[in-house]
Amino acid sequence: MKLRRSPQTVLVLSEFLNRPQEWKYGYDISRNTGLKSGTLYPILMRLAERKLLETRWESPEAGKPPRHMYKFTAGGLRHAREYAASISKHSVGQPAFSGVNN
């Protein structure tokens, strides 16, 4: 699998790498990464299409509409970590995923 990624995708991957076991919501990812919905969702769609991301609907609660949630699959987490490691190799002395601007 190719490990080359756009800066926006790197932002999304880094957001998921931060507490990878937690389910995340679209708007929260958008706020944390600064990506607009028009940029974020195509990335989420592609990651999900490639089975790197697991999606599910939150269980409905009274008076609260269910939300769509996202989490790395095992393969997705492995892929993101490998990618983070490859970036670290290229940018010695800098933490993985640093210096990514939208």
Partner 1 sequence: MATSRRLALKLLNAVVRLASPAAQDWAKAMLRELDFIENDWTALLWALGSTRILLKRGDVPVADLSDIPRVAQSLTKRIRRRTLGGCLITLGETVAFGWFVFIVPNTMQRLGCCLTVAAMLYMTYQLVARRTREAPSETDPSVCAISYRAELERQRDFHRGWWFWSRLLIMLPGMLLFCLGGAIAQPETIQVYLAIVACFIALAIAAIPLNLRLARKYQRQINELDTVRRGPQ
Catalog residues that contact partner 1 under the rule CB under 8 A: 2-9, 25-27, 30, 36-39, 41-46, 55, 65-68, 83, 86-87, 90-91
Least separation in angstroms between residue 38's CB and partner 1 is: 3
Least gap, CB of 25 to partner 1 (angstroms)? 7
Query: Which residue, among 34, 28, 36, has the nearest Cα to 69 in the 3D structure?
Result: 28
Secondary structure E strands in 1-102: 24-25, 53-57, 68-72
Nearer to partner 1, 19 or 68 (CB): 68
Least distance to partner 1, CB of residue 45, Å: 6
- d(C-alpha 35, C-alpha 31), whole Å: 7
